[in-house]
Amino acid sequence: MSRSDQLPLYHKTYGLIKYLYGMVRNFPKEHKYAIGSEMIALAWNCLDLVIEANGLPDSEKLEKIKLLSAMFDKLKLRVRMSQEVKIISIGQFAHLEENFMLETGKMIGGWKNWSEHL
């Protein structure tokens, strides 16, 4: 098991990816291969950045964490848009927010704040 596998942020992002796969599977065809694929790709990019940042010395983590924060913001925007245009239900959106998005955002923000004050 790598050091990244032990991070709560790693597990939360991994769980988000699994949930997104199940959710996107049920998207209408015209959205599955557009916004659905984008959401999954952004989530994978977030997980990759978690792993990359965690592998760096503390003094070098900040730039990767900033990229992670920006990538996560893009993902949140697409999730919100998918609910607003009725691709996902308000219940699915609420589940994502409560179980993944809010806590993941807090973890990223905390990691970024920690890294800025080294």
List, for residues 6-46, the tens digit of each pLDDT value. 799 999 999 999 999 999 999 999 999 999 999 999 999 99
Q: Which residue bears the tokens 């015209």?
A: 30
Instruction: For residues 53-82, give the mean pLDDT.
Output: 98
The CA distance from 68 to 51, in Å, is 10
pTM score, two decimals?
0.94
The CA radius of gyration of the chain, in Å to the nearest whole number, is 15
CATH code for the domain of 110: 1.20.1440.60
Per the structure, the count of domains in the chain is 1
Give the separation between CA 73 and CA 116, rounded to whole angstroms. Answer: 19
Domain range for residue 18?
Answer: 4-116
Asked if 45 contacts 69 with a C-beta cutoff of 8 angstroms, the reply is no
Percent of the chain with pLDDT over 70: 97
Distance CA 44, CA 113 (A): 23
